């Protein structure tokens, strides 16, 4: 068994609201292997985004252990994380290529090489020819593709995705699921993908971590043994239905 790239053990996190303490995560423990695409699924408000922020180093955890990287996979949190949010958050006054280049500029990377990488990534996400366009000239799905390219431009080892397709219509969301799997396969990145879509979690994940309603507690962590490349007709297969029903039962929905 390869050593984990991410190790979480007994993570606990609470917030102060007024004079009261709100427990967001009571206990979360799981490992992520290098190159995995792990779906983190649970109902709205169960602490999924909080857990992602802890992984990103944006907020501290109160108890437990978080370890990212290892002697064979060293990790620098200042440059080895890429993030994709529910909204693309593109700067409207910058052209698409310049939006993608933003992390490289912030990190002070050589811009000539970064520009070539950004062009290659725009081609990878299906936006070749859109380099000079402004965000308003692109559809919502195309803007989110640009956001994915931006998250990859500095060649991070870990990509954190917080419900990145939640604002898209159903058809565009299905297309983006297929695109993400293709991009993940071609880039070889480790991805943590937060969603409240049970079908989406199973379709995308090499493994699925299920969190119960807040305060978040890990209810299950299982490998998805479905072949790649995955196509939409996979959702009609019996084994796919078995996985989704397993999550429904854990969340008290069956």
What digits encode the pLDDT tens for the residues 201-210?
999 999 999 9
Is pLDDT at 254 greater than 70 in this prediction? Answer: no
CA distance 86 to 49: 11
Q: Mapping DSSP to helix (H, G, I), strand (E, B) and coil, where does residue 22 land?
A: strand
- With residue 245 as reference, give the H or E element that holds it: helix 238-250
Q: Which two tokens stand for residue 103?
A: 């992390």
Alpha helix ranges (H) inside 110-213:
111-124, 140-152, 170-187, 198-204
pLDDT digits (tens, 9 = 90+) for 43-98: 877 788 899 999 999 999 999 999 999 777 788 888 999 999 989 999 999 999 99
Query: What tokens appear for 238 in the block?
Result: 């019996």
pTM over 0.85: yes
Domain ranges of the chain: 6-80+157-250, 90-155
Q: For helices 111-124 and 140-152, what crossing angle results, to 10°?
A: 140
- What is the spatial distance between Cα 27 and Cα 211, in angstroms, rounded to a whole number? 10
pLDDT the model gives residue 121: 95
What one-character-per-residue DSSP string does 97-136 give? HHHHHHHHHHHT--HHHHHHHHHHHHHHTT-TT-TT--GG
Q: How far is CA 179 from CA 79, 108, 173, 248, in A?
A: 24, 29, 10, 26
Nearest-angstrom CA–CA distance, 84 and 150: 9
Q: Taking each helix axis from N to C terminus, what angle separates 111-124 and 170-187, rounded to the nearest 10 degrees?
A: 130
At 81, phi and psi to the nearest 5?
A: -120, 135
User: What is the per-residue pLDDT across 203-230, written as a single tens digit (0 to 9) for each?
Assistant: 999 999 999 876 778 889 999 999 989 9
Contact 149, 124 (CB under 8 A): yes
Q: What is the mean pLDDT of the chain?
A: 92
6-80+157-250, what's its fold? Answer: Rossmann fold (3.40.50)
64, 119 contact by CB (below 8 A): no
Q: Do 58 and 49 form a contact (C-beta atoms < 8 A)?
A: no
Q: What is the dihedral of CA 113, 117, 118, 122, to 10 degrees?
A: 160
Mean pLDDT on 24-33 = 90
Residue 235's pLDDT is: 93
- How many Cα atoms within 13 Å fall on the side-chain side of residue 159? 28
Q: What percent of the chain has pLDDT over 70?
A: 99
Q: What is the mean pLDDT of residues 138-154?
A: 95
- The answer to whether 7 and 158 have CB atoms below 8 angstroms apart is no
pLDDT tens digit sequence for 86-137: 899 999 999 999 999 999 999 999 999 999 999 999 999 999 999 999 999 9
For residue 175, which of 130, 139, 132 has the smallest C-alpha distance? 139
């Amino acid at each position: 068994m390869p050593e984990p790239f991410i190790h979480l053990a007994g993570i606990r996190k609470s917030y102060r609201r007024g004079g009261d303490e709100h427990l967001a995560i009571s206990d979360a423990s799981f490992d992520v292997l290098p190159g995995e695409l792990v779906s983190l699924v649970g109902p709205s408000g169960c602490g999924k985004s909080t857990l992602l922020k802890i992984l990103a180093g944006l907020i501290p955890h109160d108890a437990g252990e978080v370890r990212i990287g290892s002697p064979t996979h060293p990790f620098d949190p200042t440059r080895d994380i890429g993030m994709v949010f529910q909204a693309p958050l593109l700067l409207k006054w910058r052209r698409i290529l310049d939006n993608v280049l933003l992390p490289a500029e912030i990190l002070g990377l050589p811009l000539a090489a970064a520009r070539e990488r950004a062009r290659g990534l725009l081609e990878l996400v299906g936006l070749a020819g859109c380099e000079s366009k402004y965000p308003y000239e692109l559809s919502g799905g195309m803007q989110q593709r640009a956001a994915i390219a931006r998250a990859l431009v500095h060649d991070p080892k870990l990509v954190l995705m917080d419900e990145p397709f939640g604002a898209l219509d159903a058809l565009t969301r299905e297309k983006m699921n297929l695109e993400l799997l293709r991009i993940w396969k071609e880039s070889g990145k480790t991805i943590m993908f937060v969603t409240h879509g049970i079908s989406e979690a199973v379709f995308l994940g090499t493994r699925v971590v299920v969190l119960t309603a807040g305060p978040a507690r890990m209810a299950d962590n299982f490998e998805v043994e479905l072949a790649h490349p995955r196509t939409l007709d996979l959702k009609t297969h019996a084994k796919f239905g078995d996985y989704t029903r397993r999550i429904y039962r854990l969340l008290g929905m069956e």
